[in-house]
Structure 1
Amino acid sequence: MKLVFYGAGNMAHAIFTGIVNSNVVKSENIYLTNRSNEDALKKHAEELGVQYSYDDEALLKDADYVFLGTKPYDFDNLADRIRPHINEDNRFISIMAGLPISYIQEQLGTSNPIARIMPNTNAHVGHSVTGISFSNNFGPKSKEEVHELINAFGSVIEVPEDQLHQVTAITGSGPAFLYHVFEQYVTAGTRLGLEKSQVEESIRNLIIGTSKMIERSELGMDQLRKNITSKGGTTQAGLDALSQYDIESIFEDCLKAAVDRSVELASQDDDDDDDD
């Protein structure tokens, strides 16, 4: 299997590093390219054993999967450049936010199979939750191969394309929302009189340990919470204080705002296309 990455930025780097480390595809069968930063490509080649090239015809020849990892505003120029070299065996995987499958097909001038994936930054540690949608002509075997590629850097949830907005909010932006909650926890803990460094280190390990409990337990998070909540104890007192606030609505508003913005950005792309 030959993979080609157009764009080798942070997210693409996390993806092809995960694929290399999992041995799903041999490193010498992974090809990278970018606009002009050859030094970065050389570094990746030296560290991971991948290939790199600026020859679009050679890159696309016999390429099974082509990852589109350029910035969305650079995609039209990329499409113009590679369109003459696309062949019928190329299947495309977009990691570009906001660009629908129909728009990608139109700009590439092809009816080749296209998938859109929405990973998150946890891909850097092999734990991304990645949403994926496929064009209608993506065959079952190819879907299995793409799922295997994505599992190399985390887990996957397949949804219709119009539900990628929800996935973007819940898992794509999710790490930032959780980081923000953890920040507030650190601040509140520091106000109890402990040194900030002590609180930060304690909460860092608290998060890691709690995550491992969730990972290794067959119990749901609600039951895990109940298991450490003794009637009349300190945990119950803290939870009673939390219950005075409508936390559910806070998170509903947070996720809805992210979904609405995702829809808005996609609509802007469609409007720009109509104006051309």
Structure 2
Amino acid sequence: MSLTYITLATDKKMPLVGLGTWKSSPGQCIKREDIFITSKLWNTKHHPDDVEPACRKTLADLQVDYLDLYLMHWPMAFERGNIMMPINEDGSVRYADTDYKDTWKAMEKLVEKGWVKALGLSNFNARQIDDLLSTVTHRPVVNQIECHPYLNQSKLVDHCTKRSIVVTAYSPLGSSDRPWARPDDPKLLEDPRILEIAKKYGKSPAQVIIRWQLQREVVCIPKSTTPSRIKENIEVFDFILSEEDMQQIDSFDCNGRLIVPTIVRDGVRVWRDSSHPYFPFNDSY
């Protein structure tokens, strides 16, 4: 694959490799005219009355007139307000009962205002995608999900592709600096099988993983604030992984989901939001 862009259902082109800006400090990102900007609607802003003000704040914070893509960050609504994580003393979250379909209807108005060029989802499962598609005017063009060799999401990728929804992989390199990581968690970039393939191609482990995603037509947004690594992460268009190596990396899948915060409940560590009726990961994909 020599293409560096993928065409969305809106006919807008989106880069195949992006830059994750989580934890980035002010001034470390690229100029507006050089990039395709994606932002997200957070869980506390799901109420239809909160969607427009939330987007307006994002535009003001970024000092731009429009977003190329605006995603609903999760299907789950949290308690309304300006506290990003409304957490109880026991670590549980205070939820709201807003239906993500009602949130979507409010997001569609942003397209009509010209503030947003396209809309998408993040962390939605297959059933939720189909539920939403049954009511939309502006179809989601992207579903951004955790996706890497330990969680290759092949069924969900196939489900999205059949519906003209592009999959974007967040944490494609395993997000080793996630706050809840434990010392014994596997480190994708240190996996000896990945290291062996990287040596074969004269590439870094990160480049091999990103290339694997691109050959699956999955967009990647690896996070980095290190210029040399940012440069390295986009130097993935000058080699092609063999079908054998693609299949080998596919085989690393172990449903190894990493980006789900946990809490201890009744002495047992559980997924923090698993009790929410719209928690997406209770389904197999």
Asked whether the two chains share a fold, i.e. TM above 0.5, the reply is: no
Which TM-score band applies after superposition, normalised by the shorter structure? 0.3 to 0.5
TM-score, reference length from structure 1? 0.34
TM-score, normalized by length of structure 2? 0.33
Point out the structure with the larger helix share: 1
- Does 1 or 2 have the higher relative contact order (CA < 8 Å, sep 6+)? 2
